[in-house]
Amino acid sequence: MVDADQTFVIVGGGLAGAKAAETLRAEGFTGRVILICDERDHPYERPPLSKGYLLGKEERDSVFVHEPSWYARNDIELHLGQTVAAVDREAKSVRFGEDGTVVRYDKLLLATGAEPRRLDIPGTDLAGVHHLRRLAHAERLKGVLGSLGRDNGHIVIAGAGWIGLEVAAAAREYGAEVTVVEPEPTPLHGVLGPELGQIFAELHREHGVRFHFGARLTEITGQDGVVLAARTDDGEEHLAHDVLAAIGAAPRTGLAEAAGLEIADRAQGGGIVVDARLRTSDPDIYAAGDVASFHHALFGSRLRVEHWANALNGGPAAARAMLGQEIAYDRVPYFFSDQYDLGMEYSGWAPPGSYDQVVIRGDAGKREFIAFWLKEGRVLAGMNVNVWDVTDPIQQLIRTRARVDTEALADPHVALDSLVP
């Protein structure tokens, strides 16, 4: 039973943390809610940082989860620009890193997110080397891309994942020259496999992006603190005025590790181990968003999902669990991307090696299609490209785990809903 004298502390002021605070109040919790954010900006959503905001199509204020006055109106104690130095599980308290303030909790939610992986090569201290994770990063990169476009400048992007490709698309729209260096043979290889990755390579090449596959950056060279070129392990050198490291993100588990909470193996994506209720190995501590690693019964594997929908849904689910409600977090992973005139949505989980067939429904050449990844006739994942309002039936096909008629699945004239048992 939750009473008004209880204190719930949320560490992490991203989307998961902000939506958890919102849910606590919406569910009638009247105790203290303390939200601790290590950034000075109010909680915001991250997708616009590599999409609309980076392109200058969305205003800065549009990225925030709530307007600033919302927190005070809902009696949320918001601490901006504050870090948590330690969690004392025995005393059930957290200690602030700035002034040593100690706050006791009844329930604690860790929504500490992830941080960009760094290039461990010479030259990363140069001024023109960038990452994209925070609003401040996007503000800086937005100005850089504008300048590169005006001056016919070059940016080298290390990594052909979602962030790397979205920034490449933005850079080309600004008019900058773009080279993407990627160790795998296709973009998005770890997510889509070679079959669909090639479609994104062709899309970007048509817009003037140069790819250098099968290589990694080994050095960024410069003079007087300014980037001049980027070198790869096969001896190539690429002209560069700026470099973006887009080689993935690592879960911010340091606080949890120091507190002795169970952490998933790196081979499983790392992260804080949670159960179906998003509860950690400590029954009074929960985790949600990018940092949480949960076993997904549908896929028979432990997953750590870094996408927007996981934060949007995971934060509220954790909040309800903290209130004692029976929840089972089993959302089908979902994400979306916009690149040039291509819009896509992906549902499910099907890394290379997990599937034995890819079925295409529609016209891949025109980039108007749905791709399905199957294992033994069962749909593991689906991606709709410039085809809309099909996410629900795709997710239903994944959830049912039923065998499907692959000929009917590939036929655009057969309604997807009709294939759901």
Same domain, 139 and 238: yes
Same domain, yes or no: 243 and 267: no
106 and 47 in one domain? yes
Check whether 78 has a pLDDT greater than 80. yes
Beginning with the edge strand found earlier in the chain, give each strand of the sheet holding 334-339 in spatial order: 334-339, 342-348, 378-385, 368-375, 357-363
How far apart are the C-alpha atoms of 351 and 358, rounded to whole Å?
12
Task: Give the count of domains, the chain.
Answer: 3
My answer on whether 233 and 261 are in the same domain is no
- Whether 3 shows a pLDDT value over 80: the answer reads no
Q: Which of 216, 247, 278 is the last residue of a domain?
A: 247
Span 199-223, average pLDDT: 97
8-state DSSP, 266: G
Which tokens go with 134?
């925070």
pLDDT digits (tens, 9 = 90+) for 278-320: 999 999 999 999 999 998 888 888 999 999 999 999 999 999 9
pLDDT digits (tens, 9 = 90+) for 233-279: 999 999 999 999 999 999 999 999 999 999 999 888 899 999 999 99
* Residue 130 confidence class, pLDDT cut points 50, 70, 90: very high
- What is the model's pLDDT at position 356? 94
Per the document, the length of the chain is 421
Closest CA to 124 of 242, 252, 249: 242
Provide the edge-to-edge strand list for the sheet that holds 154-158.
129-130, 242-245, 154-158, 177-182, 210-213
- pLDDT per position as a tens digit, 145-191: 999 999 999 999 999 999 999 999 999 999 999 999 999 999 999 99
For residue 50, with 0-12 CB atoms within 10 Å meaning exposed, 13-18 middle and 19 or more buried, which class applies?
buried
Per-chain mean pLDDT for the chain: 96
Mean pLDDT over 383-392 rounds to 97
Q: Which domain holds residue 199?
A: 129-247
Label residue 378 by pLDDT band (50, 70, 90).
very high
State the Cα–Cα distance between residues 9 and 17, nearest whole angstrom. 10
Give the rounded percent of residues in the chain with a pLDDT score beyond 70.
99
* Residue 269 sits in the same domain as residue 374: no
Residue 257, Cβ neighbours under 10 Å: how many?
A: 11
Tokens 């096969």 belong to 234
Q: Give yes or no: residues 13 and 96 share one domain.
A: yes
Q: CA–CA separation, 416 vs 287, rounded Å? A: 35
> What span, in angstroms and rounded, lies between the C-alpha atoms of 4 and 27?
13
Residue 2: the pLDDT is 63
pLDDT of residue 239: 96
Please state whether the predicted TM-score (pTM) of the whole model is above 0.75.
yes
As a whole number, mean pLDDT of residues 211-227 equals 96
Is residue 124 in a domain? no
Q: Could you tell me if 241 and 136 lie in one domain? A: yes
Give the rounded percent of residues in the chain with a pLDDT score beyond 90: 93
Q: Could you tell me the CATH number of the domain that includes residue 409?
A: 3.30.390.30
272 forms bridges with which residues in the sheet?
A: 263, 292
Residue 334 domain-assigned?
no
Tokens 């040039």 -> residue: 340
Residues 308 and 399 in one domain: no
Q: Indicate if the pLDDT at residue 1 is higher than 70.
A: no
Here the tokens at position 302 are 């432990």
CATH number at residue 215: 3.50.50.60
**Which of 98-102, 108-112, 320-324 bottoms out in mean pLDDT, i.e. has the lowest?**
98-102
Which tops the pLDDT comparison, 301 or 116? 116
Q: Are residues 227 and 257 in the same domain?
A: no
Mean pLDDT of 394-406: 96
Cα 306 to Cα 114: distance, rounded to the nearest angstrom: 8
